[in-house]
Amino acid sequence: MLDERLAGANRHAWNTWLKAAAVVAIGISGFGLWLAELVIPHQPAGEIGSSAPEVSSNATIPGLDVLQSAAPSIDTDPRERFKQALGEYMREVEPLIHSQTFTSWDAVAQRDLTAMKAAALQAFSDGNHADALALLTTALEKARTALEQREAAFTTALAAADASLEQDDYDAASLHITEALRIRPQSPEALHLQAKIETLPEVLVHVEAARIARLENNTQAELRALEEVVKRDPSRPASRQRLASLRTAIQDDRYSRHIARGFAALEKNDLGSAQEHLNHARRIFPNRPETALLAKQVRERDHGLQVERLLHQARSAEQADDWSAALDAYRQVEAIRPGHAPAIQGRQTAERLLALLSAITSQLDAPHRLTLPPVAAQARELIAQGRQAGQASPHLAARAAELRHTLERYSRQVPVRIVSDGKTNISVRGVGRVGAVVSKLIHLKPGAYRFEGSRSGYKSEIVQVRVPPDAFDVQVEIVCDEPI
Q: 287, 265 in Cβ contact below 8 A?
A: no
> Where is mean pLDDT largest: 27-31, 86-90, 218-222, 469-473?
218-222
DSSP states of 179-237: HHHHH-TT-HHHHHHHHHHHHHHHHHHHHHHHHHHHHTT-HHHHHHHHHHHHHH-TT-H
- Confidence at residue 397, expressed as pLDDT on a 0 to 100 scale: 92
pLDDT higher than threshold 60 for residue 5: no
- Contacts by 202-205 with C-beta closer than 8 Å and gap 24+? 202/232, 203/229, 203/232, 203/233, 203/236, 204/168, 204/170
pLDDT higher than threshold 50 for residue 96: yes
Q: What number of helices (H) and strands (E) belong to the chain? A: 18, 7
- Confidence at residue 385, expressed as pLDDT on a 0 to 100 scale: 92
Residue 448's identity, in one-letter code, is A
- Confidence at residue 68, expressed as pLDDT on a 0 to 100 scale: 38
The H or E element that residue 275 is part of is: helix 271-284
Confidence of residue 484 (pLDDT cuts 50, 70, 90): confident
Helix axes 188-215, 170-183, angle to 10 degrees: 170
Greater confidence (74 vs 229) lies with 229
Give the mean pLDDT of the chain: 82
Query: Cα angle vertex 189, ends 185, 192, to 5°?
Result: 90
pLDDT higher than threshold 70 for residue 255: yes
What is the rounded average pLDDT of the residues 358-371?
91
Greater confidence (47 vs 97) lies with 97
Nearby residues of 64 by Cβ (< 8 Å), 6 or more positions away: 144, 147, 148
What is the rounded average pLDDT of the residues 180-195?
90
What is the rounded average pLDDT of the residues 300-308?
88
Half-sphere exposure of 292 (CA within 13 A, CB side): 3
- Confidence at residue 21, expressed as pLDDT on a 0 to 100 scale: 35
CATH code for the structural domain at 412-477: 2.60.40.1120
What is the rounded average pLDDT of the residues 289-318?
92
Greater confidence (204 vs 4) lies with 204
Q: Using alpha carbons, select from 290, 309, 291, 289 the residue that is nearest to residue 301.
A: 309
Size of the chain in residues: 484
Helices marked H in 20-77: 21-39, 66-69
- Confidence at residue 260, expressed as pLDDT on a 0 to 100 scale: 95
Ranking 83-87, 154-158, 260-264, 336-340 by mean pLDDT, the lowest is 83-87
pLDDT higher than threshold 50 for residue 107: yes
Each domain of the chain, given as residue ranges in start order, spans: 2-164, 338-410, 412-477
Ranking 70-84, 156-170, 217-231, 365-379 by mean pLDDT, the lowest is 70-84
E strand segments, 356-404: none
Q: What is the pTM of this model?
A: 0.46
Q: Which tens digit of pLDDT belongs to each residue from 21-74? A: 333 332 333 333 333 333 333 333 333 233 333 333 333 333 334 333 444 444
CA distance 146 to 174: 25
Residue 393's identity, in one-letter code, is S
- Confidence at residue 32, expressed as pLDDT on a 0 to 100 scale: 38
- Confidence at residue 94, expressed as pLDDT on a 0 to 100 scale: 84
